[in-house]
Amino acid sequence: MQCSCQKQQSDLSLLEPVLREYAAVPGSLITILQHAQEIYGYLPTDVIYHIAGQTGTTPARVMGVATFYTQFRFQPVGKYLIMLCDGTACHVNGSSRIAAAVQEYLHVENGGTTADGLFSFSIVACLGCCSLSPVMMINEDTYGSLTPAKVLDILKEIRQKEGAA
């Protein structure tokens, strides 16, 4: 049953092959959520409700699982998702200076997306690349041993590639 406060906006048919394969499989909620995020780019509310209905669980349980893991997003993100590590090694090695450089250059706060929709910025607890600290990921690419100047060069190169200099 869908709450009347939910507006149907997502094409839920895109998720049907995933639900056919996994909805009845115990312990597959994370897998379903991962596939849903791959399809939609984030987890829209109507998708959360649909997954709950199709798996026989509650929206609260689905949200409980989704909010526990930092990999899941609930808002659309930019074309380039910047995840800056602030784990112990990165923090000690200057991740706050890297964050300040990113925020100043892109005019975006932690958790935000640039006005042009090109970049989203998120400070995360750990990327598991301590030997590269400070480290960030942009989509699937990892950048280590960062300095404020190095991170600005990376961002400028992406902007130039996108014609958004």
The answer on 153 and 93 residing in a single domain is yes
For 43-89, write each residue's pLDDT tens digit: 999 999 999 999 999 999 999 999 998 789 898 889 999 999 999 99
Instruction: Identify the CA nearest to 43 among candidates 20, 4, 15.
Output: 15
Is 73 part of a structural domain of the chain? no
Ordered alpha helix ranges (H), the chain: 16-22, 29-40, 45-55, 59-68, 88-92, 95-106, 148-161
The model's pTM is 0.68
Whether residue 159 contacts residue 165, with contact meaning beta carbons closer than 8 Å, is answered with: yes
Split into its structural domains, the chain has a count of: 2
Instruction: Report the run of H or E that residue 6 belongs to, with start and end.
Output: none
- The CATH number linked to 106 is 3.40.30.10
Range of the domain at 110: 80-161
Q: Is residue 1 part of a domain?
A: no
For 133-147, write each residue's pLDDT tens digit. 999 999 999 999 999
